[in-house]
């Protein structure tokens, strides 16, 4: 007997009613069944069948617009960055035309019912961002955006899985990271590299590609090529007052160079991304002083101004 779930004409999922099953299309690396549906508002579109069944897709988009409109009229928090983050979380888990959908909704990642239905509840549970550098992160990369205490979470055994984290913390929590266990502690390669004052690239090469033991990988000296800058290869334990003074001097030079670049190209970048040039350059400048690279500071500013996700 076939286990294939029928997509029956007339079946209703939220505001969508199935008209017919259409050709499958590829999503997240797999062929997925598709159906054509008509929404209560009259819009006819094709949808991935499994997103209807798991509740991620309940309308053509009109429901989200209505909910967003209601929230904007009632909670008064729509100007906050947490609100933009909440919208992005919902979009990448439910909108299959979203660029990052394949890494979230396409992998089966969902937002729990409490947060899906209410930004106010999401804000109550998560609170304000710790700083402008923090965004939402899932502790378990294969887990959902879950509060851990709503009916859906309790029914499915989902735990509290979210936190505010910096880009550095999130980078070390990616599912592609190579984890290394040593002396009863597990960290990604970057974490061990920072602790022992060695290059992440070098440590990864030694451990993964060359198969060195952990002790050998973190203790063997790095042979610096004649034309490379040995200053930044100085181990953390050897970075004394003289090193710190030289580092500060170099940082002043770096920031000055980046500011010249910003003054030269900042207006055109702001115009390209349709953001206010003065505010854009101000955010970039603050990030440069805070230690960001030029490219990182530009991306951060555009992210803060809602020009990129």
Take residue 225 and report the two structure tokens written for it: 């090529």
Is 188 a residue whose pLDDT tops 50? yes
Instruction: State residue 130's pLDDT score.
Output: 82
Is 225 a residue whose pLDDT tops 50? no
Instruction: State residue 270's pLDDT score.
Output: 82
Instruction: State residue 66's pLDDT score.
Output: 67
What share of the chain in percent tops pLDDT 70?
87
What does the pLDDT look like over 76-103, one tens digit per residue? 667 788 889 999 999 989 888 877 888 8
**Please, are residues 60 and 41 in contact by the beta-carbon 8 Å criterion?**
yes
Instruction: State residue 77's pLDDT score.
Output: 67
Is 224 a residue whose pLDDT tops 50? no
Instruction: State residue 69's pLDDT score.
Output: 59
Is 34 a residue whose pLDDT tops 90? yes
Is 226 a residue whose pLDDT tops 70? no
Across residues 185-196, what is the average pLDDT? 77
Is 111 a residue whose pLDDT tops 90? yes
Instruction: State residue 16's pLDDT score.
Output: 92
Residues 6+ apart with CB under 8 A from 81: 129, 132, 304
Q: What is the mean pLDDT of the chain?
A: 81
Across residues 183-196, what is the average pLDDT? 77
Is 173 a residue whose pLDDT tops 70? no
Is 167 a residue whose pLDDT tops 50? yes
Is 126 a residue whose pLDDT tops 70? yes
Band of the pLDDT at 153, cuts 50, 70, 90? Answer: very high
Instruction: State residue 134's pLDDT score.
Output: 85
What share of the chain in percent tops pLDDT 90?
16
Please state, in angstroms and rounded to a whole number, the distance separating the CA atoms of residues 111 and 114. 8
Highest mean pLDDT among 114-123, 191-200, 243-252: 114-123
Question: What single string gives the DSSP state of each residue in the chain?
Answer: ---PPP--TT-EETTEEEEEEEEEEEETTEEEEEEEEEETTS-EEEEEHHHHHTTS--SSSHHHHHHHHHHHHHTS-TTSHHHHHHHHHHHHHH-TTSTTGGGTGGGT--B-HHHHH-HHHHHHHH-S-SSTTEEEEESSTTS-B--SSSHHHHHHTPPP-EEEEEHHHHHTT-TT--EEEETTEEEEHHHHHHHHT--HHHHHIIIIIS---HHHHHHSPP---TTS-GGGGS-GGG--HHHHHHHHHHHHHHHHHHHHHHHHHHHHHHHHTT--HHHHHHHHHHHHHTT--HHHHHHHHHHHTTS--
Instruction: State residue 150's pLDDT score.
Output: 92
């Amino acid at each position: 007997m076939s286990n294939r779930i029928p997509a029956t004409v007339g079946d209703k999922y939220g505001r969508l009613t199935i008209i017919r099953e259409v050709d499958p299309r590829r999503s997240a690396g797999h062929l997925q069944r598709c159906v054509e549906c008509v929404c209560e508002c009259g819009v006819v579109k094709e949808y991935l069948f499994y997103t209807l069944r798991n509740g991620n897709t309940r309308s053509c988009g009109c429901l989200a617009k209505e909910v967003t409109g209601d929230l904007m009229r009632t909670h008064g928090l729509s100007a906050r960055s947490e609100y933009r983050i909440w919208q992005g979380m919902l979009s990448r888990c439910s909108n299959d035309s979203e660029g990052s959908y394949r890494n979230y909704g396409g992998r089966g990642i969902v937002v729990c019912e409490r947060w899906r239905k209410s930004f106010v509840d999401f804000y109550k549970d998560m609170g304000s961002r710790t700083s402008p550098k923090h965004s939402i992160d899932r502790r378990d990369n294969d887990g959902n955006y879950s509060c851990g205490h709503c009916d859906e979470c309790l029914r499915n055994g989902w735990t509290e899985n979210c936190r505010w984290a910096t880009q550095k913390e999130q980078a070390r929590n990616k599912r592609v990271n190579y984890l290394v266990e040593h002396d009863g502690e597990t960290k990604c390669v970057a974490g061990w590299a920072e602790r022992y004052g060695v290059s992440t690239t070098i440590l990864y090469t030694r451990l993964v590609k060359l198969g060195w033991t952990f002790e050998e990988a973190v203790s063997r000296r790095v042979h610096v090529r004649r034309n490379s800058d040995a200053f930044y290869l100085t181990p953390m334990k050897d970075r004394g007052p003289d090193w710190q003074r030289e580092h500060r001097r170099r940082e002043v030079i770096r920031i000055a160079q980046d500011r010249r670049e910003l003054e030269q190209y900042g207006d055109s970048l702001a115009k390209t991304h349709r953001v206010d040039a003065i505010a854009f350059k101000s955010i970039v400048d603050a990030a440069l002083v805070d230690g960001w690279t030029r490219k990182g500071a530009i991306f951060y500013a555009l992210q803060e101004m809602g020009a990129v996700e």
